[in-house]
Chains A and B, each alone.
Chain A
Amino acid sequence: MTAAGMVTTPQTVSLSAIGLTHRYGRRIALQPLEFELTSPGVVAVTGANGSGKSTLLRIVAGILRPSGGALSFALLGKGIKPLERRHAIGLATPELAFYEEFTARENLAFLAETRALAQPGQAVQNALECVQLETRADDRVADYSSGMKQRLRLASAILHRPAVLLLDEPGGHLDAEGRAVVERIVRQESTRSLVLLATNDPEEMRLATKLVELNGRGLGGPS
């Protein structure tokens, strides 16, 4: 990773979970889980609705502290604390919302500037082109459809070329063309990054070379 916080070359990332679990109050959101993953590659995280796919991605991203067990996140053999992981990850999740009074380009420019990228304008343009939003890039996000917002989420996740790309239901709200964009991003990023795909879509699961199956009972889970 460069001083500007942008990954430009393949990075070896290793993720390992030991007895990783999470509760929201009394409800178990993630049943104890063990895995070991290294980059590059694509890992599908599957499981019933409510089995903890999104929770796992939030823990990996460092924005949720697990209730039990441990997750180690190492880049080039060096452990990274949860609060510092934001430099190494890109997260696209349905909960991610943007500033509706800004255009897509302004939203991405803000993210690029906050991440102190070396060439923010170029990074924004590349990300917009990658998700095919460049023709509507100067429209306010308030005017976007749900599919366009999903493309913007994907653009924000790849903006800084992260070492770990976390995609939560990436094909949600997308048309066939949008799903092709997702497939292209996953294939492209998987040559240099670790891509975690939280999905139950067979087409998206097909992109993965490894599977992490969550055993939670989902909606019928214990409270």
Chain B
Amino acid sequence: MPRSWSSSMAAVWAVLRKECRSEWRTRYGLNAALLFAVASLAAVSFSAGRLGERTDVLAALFWIVLLFATLASMSHAFVRETENRTMLLLRLVASPTEIALGKLLFNLVFLLVVEVAIVPLFMVLMSAPPPRWGSFLTVLGLGTVSLAASSTLVGAVIAQTRGRGALFAGVSLPLLLPVLAAAVSGTKAQWIGVGLDGEIRLLIAYAVALLGMSLLLYEHLWED
């Protein structure tokens, strides 16, 4: 009795709406992400001053702030279901793929909201040179997709294990290093005005590979 495409999309949409409503009610991730971003940028700004000339440091700092501000919250999209014992409820109404896609979309929305706050803050506090918006947003968008896909996948895999915190860091690191390397390099390249085709190709390939692998794995996530 497989579901129709429209019914599956309705389930994905319902999970996304549920996640957004839950985040809005609890502010579980958003407050923590914004607090981390503001505090870390302010601390760097006070201690190192303006880094306008150091585009290599700026690019690395930007992605470090974005990564650490959002990673813990994104993994919690699944972990929260396990800790609150609501995973069974979800499994009774939607397939693992529908649940995971809903949570992936939520993580994308979450990242976009955090980025809307962090990007202008970063530019002002760090006195970063004006970005080449087309290239900058392309790198940011592709990095965002990879970040959301990897943290959703790892969050789903570790949700029902013991020692989730340690596992999340250990499993995420090798998945995220190529994304971070390409995103930092691409962000720096757009500031100094050199070509970044290689970085963009790598980010596209990685995002596609992560999404494809996720879609293959999700259906087998919770087979007891």
Looking at chain B's contact residues, is the secondary structure mostly helix, strand, loop, or mixed? helix
Neighbouring A residues of B26 by C-beta, 8 Å: 101
| Interface bits A35-72 vs B (CB < 8 Å: 1, else 0) | 00000000000000000000000000101110000000
Q: Are A63 and B25 interface neighbours, CB within 8 A?
A: no
Tell me whether A99 and B86 are in contact in the complex, defined as CB-CB below 8 angstroms, given that A87-B3, A114-B94, A116-B6 are known contacts.
yes
Q: Does A15 sit within 8 A of B, measured CB to CB?
A: no
Complex formed: what's the CA distance from A115 to B91 in Å? 11
Q: Are B22 and A98 interface neighbours, CB within 8 A?
A: no
Query: Which stretch in A78-86, A131-139, A177-185, A206-214 binds the other chain?
Result: A78-86
Neighbouring A residues of B98 by C-beta, 8 Å: 114
Tell me whether A1 and B93 are in contact in the complex, defined as CB-CB below 8 angstroms, given that A65-B223, A95-B85, A101-B25 are known contacts.
no
Q: Are A86 and B91 interface neighbours, CB within 8 A?
A: yes
A83, A88, A97: which contacts B84 (Cβ < 8 A)? A97
- In the complex formed, the residue of A with least CB distance to B86 is A97
Q: Does A18 sit within 8 A of B, measured CB to CB?
A: no
Neighbouring B residues of A91 by C-beta, 8 Å: 92
Neighbouring A residues of B100 by C-beta, 8 Å: none
Q: Are B21 and A102 interface neighbours, CB within 8 A?
A: yes
Tell me whether A64 and B22 are in contact in the complex, defined as CB-CB below 8 angstroms, given that A99-B86, A114-B11 are known contacts.
no
- In angstroms, how far is the closest chain A Cβ from the Cβ of B8? 8
| Interface bits A103-127 vs B (CB < 8 Å: 1, else 0) | 0001000110111100000000000
Interface size on B, residues (CB 8 A): 32
Complex formed: what's the CA distance from A75 to B1 in Å? 9
Complex formed: what's the CA distance from A114 to B16 in Å? 10
A–B pairs, 14, beta carbons within 8 Å: A63-B88, A80-B1, A86-B91, A95-B88, A97-B84, A99-B22, A101-B26, A102-B22, A110-B18, A111-B89, A111-B93, A113-B10, A114-B15, A116-B10
A-B contacts besides A83-B219, A86-B91, 16 pairs, CB < 8 Å: A3-B4, A63-B91, A63-B222, A75-B1, A97-B85, A97-B86, A97-B89, A98-B89, A99-B22, A102-B22, A102-B25, A110-B14, A113-B14, A114-B11, A114-B93, A115-B11
B interface, CB within 8 angstroms of A: 1-4, 6-7, 10-11, 13-15, 17-18, 21-22, 25-26, 84-86, 88-89, 91-95, 98, 219, 222-224
Q: Which 4 A-B pairs have the closest CB atoms?
A: A113-B14, A97-B85, A116-B7, A114-B14
